[in-house]
Amino acid sequence: MKKNRIGLKIFLLAVAEIGLVLLILFLTMMIDQRICAALFSLCVVIAAFFATWCITKPATKKRVLISSGCLTAAAAVALCAVGGVILYDASLIINERAYYDENYRDENQPFTDGVYKLEGAEVMFSEKNAPVIAVNDASLYPLASSIINSFYSRTAFENCIDDYFISAFSPALVLEENVDAVAIVYEEELDMFDGYEVTAIPIAADAIVIYSQSGTSVKSLTRDCLAGIFTGKITDWSQIGGEKHEIKAYAQNVFQTSGRMLAGYLDTQLSGYVTETYFVVNHFSFNQRPAAYRNVDGAVGFALMSQIDERFKNTAKIDVEGVSATFDTVADRSYPITSAVYAVTREDAGENARRLVELLTAESSARLYTANGFAAA
């Protein structure tokens, strides 16, 4: 009877050991499949060794505990490797924060530290007469917050944040007769107002910046070269005058405003970019998605000019058709991939909405746009 109990305990320990290893493998798989594969191979080798050890000699509690400890140690090493891979990978990633940083909106709320306020601007709107500012693209959030910072009463705004500033809207909001509103939208979004009587006035301009790792030998790309890169037809830098090295085209933002702007300029859908596998817990399956830009040899990516900040300091801007993206070249549209930013109101907009548009188009407001990464219209 005693031997049976010992045998049962050994069996339960072995089952627990296998369950622990499978759980670790599953969790690791969701984090990084490469480490999962390495861990699985390591565990199989160790498990096979100790299984042989326990089979060829009497299986004892001590032997099972030793094998369990070795497998647990192997799993710990793999998990540490996962952490190392994730930290190293994160250090290489650069993206448009507006779309991929959960803290972006909180950091760019009106009247928070770091949000620009136009110097010398006079408060023009109080709780009683403030028009609604509506934006439907996260990259325009800091600009809208700066507008509120500059021309709106802080006390009134804090009491009526949901009335002043709406970050997701439909054309109906701007068109409602009982709402005095100004929509801030990119040129590519103007078609949402088709069929409605609105006034759209350009106030600023943004652009798509093409960038690569610092030190790249390619300084300028033509439209055809860009189309080849972002459709997978050009796969090596030597094909476009650079050193022989595989091109890694990144387009994590392919479905965002910048992706639509680049696709519109190239007149083709983007494809052939680097993808990554991720685990979908709800469906218990693996899917593919565009990978975030990694600043490695051969990499090339794109972003809105307004999203370029200190995180891009180790990248090099690539000209398009021999023209560099600057405030001047974007403002006069000599840079090829530009998009105007419009203030949209109803044709019969109220007095306060019209007054806000006048402020936004005034020459004195130019600094409001450049401080947020846009060119003044």
The domains of the chain are located at 2-92, 94-99+206-338, 109-197+347-376
Lowest mean pLDDT among 99-113, 181-195, 251-265, 276-290: 276-290
Q: What is the mean pLDDT of the chain?
A: 83
Spatial contact of 141 and 135, defined as CB atoms under 8 Å apart: yes
Q: In the structure encoding, which two tokens stand for residue 81, read together?
A: 């490797």
**What pLDDT does 305 receive?**
97
Q: How far apart are CA 254 and CA 141, in angstroms?
A: 20
The CA distances from residue 102 to 107, 157, 181, in Å, are 10, 23, 27
CA dihedral defined by 271, 272, 274, 280, rounded to 10 degrees?
60
Spatial contact of 308 and 209, defined as CB atoms under 8 Å apart: yes
Spatial contact of 201 and 361, defined as CB atoms under 8 Å apart: yes
Q: What percent of the chain has pLDDT over 70?
A: 73
Q: In the structure encoding, which two tokens stand for residue 73, read together?
A: 């140690």
CA-based torsion, 310, 311, 313, 316: positive or negative: negative
Is residue 307 over pLDDT 50?
Answer: yes
Region 332-358: what's the mean pLDDT?
Answer: 95
> Which pTM does this prediction carry?
0.79
| DSSP states of 235-300 | -BGGGGTS-S-B-EE--TTTTSHHHHHHHHHHTS---S--EEEEEETTTTEEEEEEPPEE--TTEE
Q: How far apart are CA 181 and CA 95, in angstroms?
A: 31
DSSP 199: E
Q: In the structure encoding, which two tokens stand for residue 221, read together?
A: 């790309």
Is residue 330 over pLDDT 60?
Answer: yes
Query: How does pLDDT run across 8-59, given as a tens digit for each residue?
Result: 555 565 566 666 666 665 655 555 665 665 566 566 666 666 666 555 556 5
If we measure between CA atoms, which residue out of 67, 68, 77 comes closest to residue 20?
68
If we measure between CA atoms, which residue out of 182, 212, 180 comes closest to residue 315?
212
Indicate the class that CATH gives domain 94-99+206-338: alpha beta
CB neighbourhood size of 361 (10 A) = 15
**What pLDDT does 336 receive?**
97
**What pLDDT does 187 receive?**
94
Half-sphere exposure of 267 (CA within 13 A, CB side): 2
Is residue 143 over pLDDT 50?
Answer: yes
**What pLDDT does 89 receive?**
72
CB neighbourhood size of 70 (10 A) = 15
Lowest mean pLDDT among 69-78, 233-242, 322-331: 69-78
